Structure 1
């Protein structure tokens, strides 16, 4: 089996991959994530995932499959990571009682042959109606930090969600079934 490199410092992505006893190395990408206002969310996540994978592929000196991902929350516009508690409060308030999309771009590069695959996954998430008190209570956990859309479904954020349609692992940040499908189809590898 080829070496696998996860181009991410995300503890959530690391935990998702570790579940499958996959032997992989983590090398975080150092790209500056820039989003232009006119870009569609699918274009954004696929571009950023590719830039992360390409950054690592160019920096390493070994044969490997580099896996990178980028996730956004989309409701009328892209909701990035909140700057502070007030920003998180406004984001969560805007999601209250509504459906939004969680979109993850995936990029895989085989450094030995230069093969590059880019794809994406989408999950629809519906939030409960949230009172200002419920939002403040969630923010007080600190979990909103460094999370697209200011929540983490795998933690306390689960209480905010009424339902999801699509892959749960995508909302966490790494669509495992899609990744397995891409590895199998394009690189003759399986996660499980």
Structure 2
């Protein structure tokens, strides 16, 4: 049995590869707009499960990992900003304040009739940056590709003062939670084997 990552996220793939795991990559193609939910915990778990489920039938003998992340800030939920104008406005609200980054994790193995869905949340404290810094950052295009409009592992890391909680969760996959989930499904061998 191999691990299949139901995501096109290069950041998630790199996290796994740096941990010595080389998954099969299969983008889910799931339309996220099908899930409407105001609770970030419920939202990320449902989206992670739907992404994993969309890929599971193609790989029934393998373990499928689906993930999804959102940023909760001031009572709103932010995924990837739709355009630069929205990204700038979002950053102007977030600067100097704290948000919560939620990531849902779903593991599915159809052949063993297994599924496990969990989430992790990490507090992110944003720097109080200038309008110019915001505009320049958004112009790089990076915020448009990331939940919450920033990449901690990229240029966005310059504009985060600190985090409280799991670092890799902010990048899109909590490695400690993933390890725990594998153990709960008796699949820890995937860590030692690299698959």
TM norm. shorter chain > 0.5: yes
* Over 2 Å off, 4+ runs: none
For residue 176 of structure 2, what is the aligned residue in structure 1?
A: 177
- Deviation of 1:159 after TM superposition, in Å, equals 1.0
1:63 aligned to 2:79? no
TM-superposed CA distance for 1:30, in Å, is 1.4
**Cα deviation 1:76-119 (Å, max 9, x = unaligned):** 11012111111110111111111100000000011221100000
Distance 2:187 2:130 in 1: 49
Partner of 2:79: 80
Instruction: Give the aligned length.
Output: 189
1:92–1:149 Cα contact (<8 Å) kept? no
Aligned to 2:32, what secondary structure does the other structure show? coil
How many Å apart are 1:48 and its aligned residue?
0.4
Q: Which residue of 1 aligns with 2:44?
A: 45
Hey, what does 2:141 align to over in structure 1? 142
Q: Unpaired segments of 5 or more residues in structure 2? A: none
CA RMSD of aligned residues (A): 1.3
Rounded Cα–Cα distance in structure 2 between residues aligned with 1:23 and 1:15: 9
Name 2:23's counterpart in structure 1.
24
In structure 1, C-alpha distance between the alignment counterparts of 2:117 and 2:184, rounded to whole Å: 13
Greater percentage in helix: 2
Unpaired segments ≥5 residues, structure 1: none
State the 1:47 CA deviation.
Answer: 0.2
Would the aligned equivalents of 1:66 and 1:111 in 2 still touch at CA under 8 Å? Answer: no
SS state of the match for residue 15, structure 2?
Answer: helix
User: What are the superposed Cα offsets for residues 56-85 of structure 1, whole Å, 9 maximum, x if unpaired?
Assistant: 11233x411100100001101101211111
